Amino acid sequence: MAAPNGAVPAIEFRDVQKRFGDTVVLDGLNFTVAKGDRVTLIGPSGSGKTTILRLVMTLEDLTDGYIFIDGEPLTHAEVDGERVELKPKHKTEIRKRIGMVFQQFNLFPNMTVIENIIEAPVHVLGMSKEDAIEKARGLLDQVGLADKEDAHPLELSGGQQQRVAIARALAMDPEILLLDEVTSALDPEIVGEVLGILKDVAESTDITMLIVTHEMQFARDVSNRILMFDGGRIVEEGTPEEFFTNPKEQRTRDFLQAVVADPITGALPWQPAPGASGTPAAPATPTTPSTTSTTTQDGDPL
């Protein structure tokens, strides 16, 4: 799964620092994401995970350091040992390869569903309207909303809006897709339908994904690497397998215990309950709906 050695990473953070006023959110952060990687960032809130996504999308300015996309500098470059800001035009060009799905969907309420999806392909990429509509219809079909193309975003449920937002991001054919807590604003019973669609996308494409989520089951199913953040630093990283079955750091264990442990037995969903050695854990946990079991292809509950 990991990119072969020597290949240019899709995303590289080099000595990235981010401050908001006096608060240091990220301090000298270094990491790379290989092409085709699915990396999930986990950690307590305020640990800087979302800031990382927002920096990649240029929604925030980085205080110091560099971010590279496909080996090209995103916002700043080092020229003769000096750190210089790049022109907005350059940023826009690089940005076109990156898509993002937001926690609050952020669909444009002044446009219908299909207009939301074709807006950027037509007006940013210069695609013909016919082609864009054809593509958008395909994507709407993929997210199970083929019958909603003329609806207004606010007429849709939260889950439906988020599915449209996923289609809107995919319509730009991004090389990198950023998923920022895409299910946090949704009712628990519709989380599965959205995650199911993203799993399909992960399985059927080679888009590089950088994911911030609290859905540990989803992180486990989709990603091939997990980074645990705390206080703006990477505390631990590993494959989901290592990470969830045998976390090395105490802080990771504490975090996992706090977010996903069964509230009654204290057992992690993928581990036997303590004190009940040998017996398997309860099959389902109330806090994390399993994406594999609750999702259908079209994602519609009825």
> Shortest gap between Cβ of 302 and another protein (angstroms)?
8
| CB closer to another protein, 39 vs 178 | 178
**Interface with another protein includes 152 (CB under 8 A)?**
yes
42 binds another protein (CB under 8 A): no
Is there binding between residue 153 and another protein (CB under 8 A)? Answer: yes
72 contributes a contact to another protein by CB under 8 A: no
- 107 lies in the site for another protein, by CB under 8 A: yes
Q: Does the protein bind another protein through residue 92 (CB under 8 A)?
A: yes
Distance of CA 277 to the CA centre of its chain: 35
Instruction: Examine residue 34 and tell whether it contacts another protein (CB under 8 A).
Output: no
Applying CB under 8 A, among 71, 109, 138, 188 the residue interacting with another protein is 109
Please choose, out of 4-12, 152-160, 225-233, 268-276, the segment that lies near another protein by the rule CB under 8 A.
Answer: 152-160
**Strands 176-180 and 208-212, bridge-based pairing:** parallel
Site size toward another protein (CB under 8 A) is: 33
* Residue 135 binds another protein, judged by CB under 8 A: no
- Binding part of the chain for another protein, among 24-32, 106-114, 134-142, 236-244 by CB under 8 A, reads 106-114
Q: How far is the CB of 102 from another protein (least distance, A)?
A: 6
CB of 73 to another protein, least distance (A): 17
Contacting another protein within 111-130 (CB under 8 A): 119-120, 123-124
Residue 44 corresponds to which tokens in the numbers above? 């307590």
Is there binding between residue 102 and another protein (CB under 8 A)? yes
**190 and 157 in contact (C-beta within 8 Å)?**
yes
- Give the strand order in the sheet containing 225-230: 98-101, 176-180, 208-212, 38-42, 225-230, 233-238
Is residue 299 close enough to count as binding another protein by CB under 8 A?
no
Q: Which residues bind another protein (CB under 8 A)?
A: 57-59, 92, 95-96, 98-100, 102, 104-110, 119-120, 123-124, 151-157, 160, 168-169, 172, 178
